[in-house]
Structure 1
Amino acid sequence: MKFICLLFTALFCLPTYAAQLTLELGDTRRSWQTADLLNHPATQEVRIVDDVSYKRDMTYRAIPVATLLEGLSPEDHVQAVALDGFAAELNVAPLLNQHGAKAWLAIEDPEQPWPPLGKGKPSAGPFYLVWTDPQAGHISPEQWPFQVARFKRQQPVAERFPAMRPDPSLAADAPANQGFVVFQKHCLACHRLNGAGDAQFGPDLNIPYNPTEYFGKAFLTRYIRDPQSLRQWPQARMPGFSSEVLTEAELAQLIEYLQHMATRKVVTPERQP
């Protein structure tokens, strides 16, 4: 009987395995183990009010993201790549902030695992990008990637994916160009456009059809605000974008960008009719 109890303990009561975070910051590559980050002198206890993923206040052991991105400049750009391939596009400038909205990498302790994100779902670990005072920096939910495994320095989106760019003859402050910035912040983590991008979750927003071609503006606005108000199904993954997350002006700019890109479809040989 004692042997059976010991065997049960060995099989079912082991702590969660520690994880590894990889940093690919241009010429340098470094890996951090969970224990190393938990014991880092910059790591501290951080309280997050109204956590985006858990929908309640949470407390984490976390390290300032700026500490991990040492050597990068505010003009740089990184991807936070999750275990499932989700890739959040992040400008480095907000990640380096020491005042106002401040980015932290929460570290899941294998001895004290976080709760699951939902029934049958894993936790937000092993690493989760969270923010204190996010309202000060107008931080969107897409800037809270969870299950992070890697930070990778990248070229800016417009350079990596020229097929996404608006007409270069447009003025820099044209609504379509402003909408392109909004698209990068709120849409690019889940959607491609003209076949360009790294996202694997949502449909391409221009090929074969742009949503402005099959939605009237009023219904497209409603869909972006509350997708389930137009299309309901249990596996729906697109979140709604409230006016606190996406202002009325930003939403109008995003639609201007989509309307503009509907005139700039990229047709590759495999897409020829």
Structure 2
Amino acid sequence: MSLLRRCFALFALCCALPLHAADLSIDTGHGVRIWTTAQLLTSADAQSVTIPADVAFHRTMHYRAVPLHALLPGLAHGDRLKFVANDGFSVDIDADAILNRTGAQAWLAVEDPQYPWPALPGNKGDAGPFYVVWTDPAAAQISSEQWPYQLARIQLTQDAASRFPATAPAASEPANSPVRRGYVVFQRTCFACHTLNGEGDARMGPDLNIPHSPTEYLSADMLRAFIRNPQSLRRWPEGKMTGFPTQASLSDADLDVLLAYLTYMAQHKVEK
């Protein structure tokens, strides 16, 4: 076969291959299992799921999806899982929310290479190949950060304070203080994209304490407005931060304790 024909054959083969087929790595402490797109789409647990108000697409979406708990053997109540995306996003989700069989339920949506999903709004790229979606998310107060897309890996992990001690308030802080409650909110919202004191898994946004906390250069009102709508402070079409515009995504009370935590941590910098 001539070189030209070989190149043409290779090109034709590449065009025939599904461009969005991928592998998902899952480790719940019992060894790593690799799932392919084809395996997930043809799984006996796979079914059609409708999401009325999809967090990423902002409209009703229909997916081929597998109940997430069906892919997590040995997962127990009290466990914690880390979800890592290809774009540097990383979020922890409690096993209790995933193991729930009533009310809010987590699904792994799988992109079919033959019928790819549309592009994300706002020039944010693609959501595939794997995307965690929820039915009835309000029943368990599932936040918008707990819908990781472009998913590449799921693994068992420890709590944030154990893995990243420089992000945790001092042990002397009362258990129900605004600072400690704000740390919980921080983990659920900001920690998926940002580090703090140089610690964290995410690589999407800047550190929120080093060299300066946003509480040191923004007034409380401006910071609240920025968290609700980042474009209200800096108009940047390419900005990735979507904000938390509603009480459902982040209540005023949660926003208050989040600011209390960030203000506290500004006085507890740890240089790496």
Residue equivalent to 2:253: 249
Residue equivalent to 2:133: 130
> What amino acid is the match of 1:253?
V
Secondary structure of 2:270's partner?
coil
Q: Superposed, which structure 2 residues align to 1:159-198 within 5 Å?
A: 159-198=162-201
Aligned partners of 1:16 and 1:113 also within 8 Å: no
Aligned partners of 2:20 and 2:111 also within 8 Å: no
> What amino acid is the match of 1:207?
I
**Range 179-188 or range 75-84, more displaced:** 75-84
Deviations 1:198-251 (A, max 9, x none): 111111111111111111111111111111111112221111212220001000
| CA drift at 1:123 | 2.7
Q: Which runs of 5+ in 2 are unaligned?
A: none
Secondary structure of 1:188's partner?
helix
Q: Superposed, which structure 2 residues align to 1:77-226 within 5 Å?
A: 77-118=80-121, 122-226=125-229
Distance 1:76 1:232 in 2: 40
Distance 1:219 1:120 in 2: 26
Aligned partners of 1:82 and 1:145 also within 8 Å: yes
Q: Structure 1 length as normaliser, TM-score? A: 0.91
Q: In structure 2, do the counterparts of structure 1 residues 210 and 121 end up closer, same or farther at CA, with 3 Å as the change threshold? A: closer
Distance 1:81 1:121 in 2: 17
Identity of aligned residues (%): 49
Aligned partners of 2:83 and 2:92 also within 8 Å: yes
Aligned partners of 2:124 and 2:240 also within 8 Å: no
Distance 1:54 1:120 in 2: 11
| CA drift at 1:13 | 5.5
Q: In structure 2, do the counterparts of structure 1 residues 125 and 194 end up closer, same or farther at CA, with 3 Å as the change threshold? A: same
Q: Structure 2 length as normaliser, TM-score? A: 0.91
Q: 2:43 matched to 1:36?
A: no
| CA drift at 1:70 | 2.2
Aligned partners of 2:226 and 2:233 also within 8 Å: yes
Distance 1:92 1:148 in 2: 17
| CA drift at 1:85 | 2.7
Distance 1:11 1:151 in 2: 29
> What amino acid is the match of 1:40?
S
| CA drift at 1:14 | 4.6
**Range 188-197 or range 105-114, more displaced:** 105-114
* RMSD, aligned α-carbons: 1.9
Q: In structure 2, do the counterparts of structure 1 residues 29 and 240 end up closer, same or farther at CA, with 3 Å as the change threshold? A: same
Q: Superposed, which structure 2 residues align to 1:34-73 within 5 Å?
A: 34-73=37-76
Count of matched residue pairs: 264
Distance 1:121 1:232 in 2: 16
**Range 195-204 or range 118-127, more displaced:** 118-127
> What amino acid is the match of 2:228?
R
Q: Which runs of 5+ in 1 are unaligned?
A: 269-273
**Range 217-226 or range 245-254, more displaced:** 217-226
Deviations 1:5-26 (A, max 9, x none): x979766455335211111222
